[in-house]
Structure 1
Amino acid sequence: MKSLLVLLIGMIPGAVISQNKPTYKEPFRPQFHFTPYHNWMNDPNGLVYYKGEYHLFYQYNPMGNTWGHMSWGHAVSRDLVRWQPLALAIPEDDKNMIFSGSCVVDKNNSSGFGKKPGQIPLVAIYTAHIIPDKTKPDDYQQNQHIAYSLDDGRTWKKYDGNPVLDLKKKDFRDPKVFWYGPGKKWIMAIVLPQEHIVQFHGSTDLKTWSHLSDFGPAGDTNDIWECPDLLQVPITGQPGKSKWVLINSQQTTMQYFVGEFDGIRFQNENPADTILRPDYGPDFYAAVTYNNLPPGQDPVLLGWANNWKYGQSIPTSPWRSAMSVPRSLRLKKSGNTWILLQQPVKSLLSLRGNVTEWKSKIISGETVFPAKGQVIELDADLIPAKNAICGVRLAAGGGQSIIIGYNADSAKLYIDRSNSGNTYFNNQFAAWQYSSARVPLQDGKLRLHIFFDKSIVEVFANDGATVLTAQLFPSATHDGIEFFSEKGPTRIPIAKVWSLSSAWK
Structure 2
Amino acid sequence: MPETHHLRPRAHFTTASTWLNDPNGLVLVDGTYHLFFQTNPDGAVWGTMSWGHATSQDLITWVEQPVALRHNGSEAIYSGSVVVDHDNTSGFGEPSDDAPTLVAVYTSHYEPHAPRGGTEAQSLAWSRDGGTTWTTYPDNPVLDRGSSDFRDPKVFWHRPTASWVMVAVEALERQVVVYRSWDLRTWEHASTFGPAGSTEGVWECPDLFEVPVAGTDGTAWVLVASVGAGGPAGGSGTQWWVGSFDGVTFAPAGAGPPPVRWLDHGPDHYAAVSFDNTPGRRLMVGWAGNWAYATDVPTSPWVGVMSLAREVDLVRTSEGPALRQRPVLPAHADVARHTRAVPAEGVATLTLTTDEGRDPLVVTVDAAAGVLVLDRSRCGDQLGGPFSGVATAPLVAQAPAGPTVDVLVVVDGCVVEVYAQGGLVTLTAQVFPSAMLTTATWT
TM (norm. structure 2) is 0.92
Aligned to 2:106: 126
Contact 2:353–2:361 under 8 Å retained in 1? yes
Give the residue type in structure 2 aligned to 1:436: T
User: Do structure 1's residue 427 and structure 2's residue 384 form an aligned pair?
Assistant: yes
Aligned to 2:270: 285
User: Do structure 1's residue 261 and structure 2's residue 238 form an aligned pair?
Assistant: no
Summarize deviations over 1:249-272 as a string: whole Å, max 9, x none: 001001111111000000111563
**SS of 1:92 mapped into structure 2:** coil
Aligned to 1:244: 221
Distance in 2, Cα, partners of 1:250 & 1:270: 23
Cα–Cα, structure 1 residues 49 and 403, in superposed 2: closer, same or farther, change >3 Å? same
**SS of 2:360 mapped into structure 1:** strand
Distance in 1, Cα, partners of 2:251 & 2:209: 13
Contact 1:27–1:316 under 8 Å retained in 2? no
Aligned to 2:135: 157
How far off its partner does 1:127 sit? 0.3
Summarize deviations over 1:85-137 as a string: whole Å, max 9, x none: 11110000122000000001111111111133456211000001111238xxx
Cα–Cα, structure 1 residues 281 and 160, in superposed 2: closer, same or farther, change >3 Å? same
Distance in 2, Cα, partners of 1:177 & 1:230: 9
Cα–Cα, structure 1 residues 468 and 144, in superposed 2: closer, same or farther, change >3 Å? same
Counterpart selection for 1:333 from 301, 316, 320: 316
Cα–Cα, structure 1 residues 478 and 132, in superposed 2: closer, same or farther, change >3 Å? closer
**SS of 2:223 mapped into structure 1:** strand
Contact 1:328–1:344 under 8 Å retained in 2? yes
Cα–Cα, structure 1 residues 479 and 449, in superposed 2: closer, same or farther, change >3 Å? same
Contact 2:343–2:367 under 8 Å retained in 1? no
Cα–Cα, structure 1 residues 31 and 477, in superposed 2: closer, same or farther, change >3 Å? closer
Aligned to 1:401: 360
Counterpart selection for 2:75 from 68, 83, 96: 96
User: Do structure 1's residue 391 and structure 2's residue 391 form an aligned pair?
Assistant: no
Aligned to 1:489: none
Aligned to 1:40: 19
User: Do structure 1's residue 199 and structure 2's residue 173 form an aligned pair?
Assistant: no
Over the residues paired in the alignment, what is the CA RMSD in angstroms? 1.9
Summarize deviations over 1:342-388 as a string: whole Å, max 9, x none: 00115x22336xxxxxxxxxxxxxxxxxxxxxx4011211227x5x6
How far off its partner does 1:395 sit? 2.6
User: Do structure 1's residue 301 and structure 2's residue 257 form an aligned pair?
Assistant: no
Distance in 1, Cα, partners of 2:197 & 2:254: 10
Counterpart selection for 2:203 from 207, 219, 225: 225
Counterpart selection for 1:381 from 341, 352, 358: 341
How far off its partner does 1:291 sit? 0.4
Aligned to 1:312: 295
Distance in 2, Cα, partners of 1:196 & 1:219: 10
Give the residue type in structure 2 aligned to 1:350: H
Aligned to 2:332: 350
Contact 1:301–1:329 under 8 Å retained in 2? yes
Contact 2:270–2:290 under 8 Å retained in 1? yes
Distance in 1, Cα, partners of 2:258 & 2:80: 29
User: Do structure 1's residue 414 and structure 2's residue 373 form an aligned pair?
Assistant: yes
**SS of 1:449 mapped into structure 2:** strand
Aligned to 1:189: 167
Cα–Cα, structure 1 residues 477 and 195, in superposed 2: closer, same or farther, change >3 Å? closer
Distance in 2, Cα, partners of 1:337 & 1:417: 31
Give the residue type in structure 1 aligned to 2:72: D
Summarize deviations over 1:34-76 as a string: whole Å, max 9, x none: 1111110000000011111111000010011111010000011
**SS of 2:160 mapped into structure 1:** helix
How far off its partner does 1:422 sit? 1.6
Equivalent pairs, count: 426
Aligned to 1:362: none
Distance in 1, Cα, partners of 2:317 & 2:91: 46
Distance in 2, Cα, partners of 1:405 & 1:394: 11
Distance in 2, Cα, partners of 1:180 & 1:443: 37
User: Do structure 1's residue 275 and structure 2's residue 255 form an aligned pair?
Assistant: no
Distance in 2, Cα, partners of 1:427 & 1:25: 20
How far off its partner does 1:411 sit? 1.8
Distance in 2, Cα, partners of 1:349 & 1:409: 32
Give the residue type in structure 2 aligned to 1:69: T
Give the residue type in structure 1 aligned to 2:323: L
Summarize deviations over 1:267-305 as a string: whole Å, max 9, x none: 111563521111000000000000011x33x20010000
Give the residue type in structure 2 aligned to 1:40: W
Counterpart selection for 2:212 from 228, 234, 240: 234
Distance in 2, Cα, partners of 1:377 & 1:477: 14
Contact 1:270–1:338 under 8 Å retained in 2? no
Contact 2:359–2:434 under 8 Å retained in 1? no
User: Structure 1, unaligned stretches of length 5 or more?
Assistant: 1-23, 353-374, 485-505
Distance in 1, Cα, partners of 2:366 & 2:310: 26
Distance in 2, Cα, partners of 1:478 & 1:408: 25
Percent identity of equivalent pairs: 40
Distance in 1, Cα, partners of 2:131 & 2:81: 13
Distance in 2, Cα, partners of 1:25 & 1:170: 38
**SS of 1:391 mapped into structure 2:** strand
User: Do structure 1's residue 448 and structure 2's residue 407 form an aligned pair?
Assistant: yes
Counterpart selection for 1:322 from 291, 305, 329: 305
